[in-house]
Amino acid sequence: MSWLTDPWHFTFMQHAFLAIILVGIICGAIGVFVILRGYSFLGDALSHAIFPGVVITFILGGNFLVGALIAAVIISTLIGVVSQSGRINNDTAIGVLFAGSFALGVALMSLQSGYVRDLNSFLFGSILGVSRDDLVITAIVGLVVLVGLAMFRREITLISFDRVFARSTGLNLWVFDQLFLLLLALAIVVSLQTVGNVLVLAMLVTPAASARMLTDNLRRMIALSSTIGALSGLVGLYISYYRGVPSGAAVVLTATAVFGMLFLFAPRNGVVTARVRQRIHYSHPEDDVRVVPDKPQA
Amino acid sequence: MSSLPPVLTCHNLAVHYDNRSALRDVNLEIKRGQITALLGPNGAGKSTLLKVLAGMIPPSHGAAKFEGEELSGPHANITYVPQRSDVDWTFPISVLECTLLGLAGSRSRWKPFSRHDKAVAMQALKDVRMDHLAQAQIDALSGGQQQRVFLARALLNNGDVLLLDEPFTGVDVPTQDMLVDLLTELKSRGTAIVYATHDLAQAARTADYAVLLNGDIVAEGSPHDIFQQDVLLRTFGGSVISVESLREVAAS
Ligand SMILES: Nc1ncnc2c1ncn2[C@@H]1O[C@H](COP(=O)(O)OP(=O)(O)OP(=O)(O)O)[C@@H](O)[C@H]1O
Ligand SMILES: [Mg+2]
């Protein structure tokens, strides 16, 4: 069993494990709303749009998380402002700003020699370089995201599935859309170092999609998504440690494998499971029908 | 009843979307204890008018007033029931949770809903005969059941005015009957009810007052008085309607 504990003898691995577990929990929780609102593109775009902030902190010196956070706030506000004009829809606003801002990052980077290695770590993460400070920032920002989600759970739920009613109760949709965008941006920023820009989307959508296969209950879905995210991170990191696969890729592949299994074999909703149930119940089809009577039975 | 001042009024109200006019010259009085039906073809401005009355769209000209005070936004005593198509019904939430969200605005954001809140929501679901499905997911509901959940959520608010956008559309007869019973019950308690519909016969049976809309108000009055061939032709254009049968329904 020493293979389980071996990696924990190194401080950098302890940091890596803690970081990936935190990221799994944070992204798993907010990812539920990302998939329910169909916001995958937004998640991907935000992660790229943060790039210039990272480059600027590199040029000026300082913790790159701080630069990324500032960039995230600016970008999410800009998306809100542009999409509010009415003529340009949300998706377009996101596309324009994400590409423009990523290009700005690339241009800024070209002014700087010797940045290639760091670009690589931005794109694919550098989980072995997580410092104690990074961990503290990740934990604080993660707490902000989770508390934000918990505090505004009803508003965020309502604007996710019934916007017209939400507005009729006096809820300011723009404010809560912005708030959600900001929380999402924060979650993405703290994930960049562990999984990198290219794969952060997977931490947002894959565990949440797995959780969706398991439950119809929103609260349970958030708990499951966070758990699956954290466990995928843990398992992926072991694989990375022993097999030399890049950590981000190992973590995401683990999460993807979990999703694949659940997609096929989830107890109730798996594609194969549903088929088998159908077969078993074929001689008694009435057992398998979910009866939703219109009136209570007498 | 008729001596009471109107609860909602429109004064020379107009709404433009991007310079295109959706509503103009709307003057209207909505009274307590009365069911008002808004009728008109697609694009007539029914939904727009309901949203103005709900304080969700500011009028481009004129004003909507609640008890004499100009509406500047949604009002706690005005409840709006959206069109069913406005909702993402695949969202993983149960009927009871969905209903409880009707209370969200007035409850502490720190605490879960109290046992009392849940009892109130269950009672509302019972009123629309949906209590046996309280734990069902909203994606498992039929159109009529969805409408009932909407209504239950609106009942929690206990407002003076209830605005409904096409509550009878795509709903079976038992649900329609239940809806009519419920609206009649609310009306007898003094609630002002306004709903949009395409169904003239339904309006003739249910409404005390009908407003025929096509950008502006073509006619208003009791269904029996205004459901006339020429008026309906002016509102709806060339569609064929059996006016006599409608008036019989209205008279009965
Ligand atoms: N958000 C909007 N932006 C631009 N135009 C709009 C908007 N909402 C409605 N309109 C326009 O305003 C007019 C009135 O629309 P409204 O939805 O109020 O009609 P309606 O009577 O409810 O129609 P329906 O019977 O189809 O529901 C239509 O011409 C419509 O195209
Ligand atoms: Mg409409």
In contact, A188 and A142? CB cutoff 8 Å: no
> Is residue A88 pLDDT above 60, yes or no?
yes
Cα dist. A239→A206, A248, B48, B104, B221 in Å? 18, 11, 58, 45, 76
pLDDT score of A286:
57
A169–B contact, CB cutoff 8 A: yes
d(CA B197, CA A206): 43
| Residue the block writes with tokens 């001596």 | B3
Partners of residue B14 on adjacent β-strands: B61
The stretch B231-237 carries a mean pLDDT of 78
Give the tokens for residue B61: 């000209």
What number of other Cβ atoms are within 10 A of residue B171's Cβ? 20
> Is residue B10 pLDDT above 90, yes or no?
yes
d(CA A168, CA B76): 9
Partners of residue B13 on adjacent β-strands: B26
Residue at A166: amino acid letter: A
Per DSSP (E only), the strands in B18-87 are 20-30, 35-39, 61-66, 69-70, 78-81
> Is residue A296 pLDDT above 60, yes or no?
no
> Is residue A263 pLDDT above 50, yes or no?
yes
> Is residue B23 pLDDT above 60, yes or no?
yes
Partners of residue B189 on adjacent β-strands: none
Element (H, E) at A136: helix A132-151
Tell whether ligand 1 has an atom less than 6 A from the beta carbon of residue B174: no
With CA atoms as reference, report the closest residue to B15 among B215, B195, B234.
B215
Q: How far is A77 from chain B (nearest CA, A)?
A: 24
Q: How many residues does chain B have?
A: 252
What is this model's ipTM? 0.86
Q: How far is B159 from chain A (nearest CA, A)?
A: 12
pTM of the model: 0.86
Helix, strand, or coil (residue B195): strand
Give the tokens for residue B89: 């019904």
Tell whether ligand 1 has an atom less than 6 A from the beta carbon of residue B74: no
In contact, A56 and A37? CB cutoff 8 Å: no
Tell me which chain A residue has its CA closest to the CA of residue B109. Answer: A151
> Is residue A125 pLDDT above 50, yes or no?
yes
| Residue the block writes with tokens 């609860």 | B7
What number of other Cβ atoms are within 10 A of residue B73's Cβ? 11
In eight-state DSSP terms, residue B138 is G
Buried b (16+ CB within 10 A) or exposed e, A134-150: bbebbeebbebbbebbe
- Output the CA torsion sign for A50, A52, A58, A60: negative
The stretch B52-65 carries a mean pLDDT of 93
Q: How far is A158 from chain B (nearest CA, A)?
A: 7
The model's pLDDT over B93-152, given as tens digits with 9 standing for 90+, comes to 999 999 999 888 788 888 889 999 999 999 999 999 999 999 999 999 988 899 999 999
A293–B contact, CB cutoff 8 A: yes
The CATH superfamily holding the domain A2-283 is ABC transporter involved in vitamin B12 uptake, BtuC (1.10.3470.10)
Tell whether ligand 1 has an atom less than 6 A from the beta carbon of residue B239: no
Average pLDDT, chain B: 88
Domain B6-86+160-251 coded CATH 3.40.50.720: no
d(CA A11, CA A17): 10
Neighbour-count burial of B84, counting CB atoms closer than 10 A to its CB (0-12 exposed, 13-18 middle, 19+ buried): buried
Q: Which residues contact A238 (CB under 8 A, 6 or more apart)?
A: A4, A7
Neighbour-count burial of B199, counting CB atoms closer than 10 A to its CB (0-12 exposed, 13-18 middle, 19+ buried): middle
Question: Could you report how far apart the first and last alpha carbons of chain A are, in Å?
Answer: 60
The stretch B184-207 carries a mean pLDDT of 91
The model's pLDDT over A3-62, given as tens digits with 9 standing for 90+, comes to 888 888 888 899 999 999 999 999 999 999 999 998 888 898 888 888 888 888 888 887
A173–B contact, CB cutoff 8 A: no
Element (H, E) at B164: strand B161-165
Task: At B118, give phi and psi (nearest 5°).
Answer: -65, -40
> Is residue A153 pLDDT above 60, yes or no?
yes
pLDDT score of B1:
47
Edge-to-edge strands, sheet with B209-214: B78-81, B161-165, B192-197, B35-39, B209-214, B216-221
Domain residues of chain B, as ranges?
6-86+160-251
Tell me which chain A residue has its CA closest to the CA of residue B104. Answer: A154
Cα dist. A110→A55, A115, A116, B234 in Å? 10, 8, 9, 68
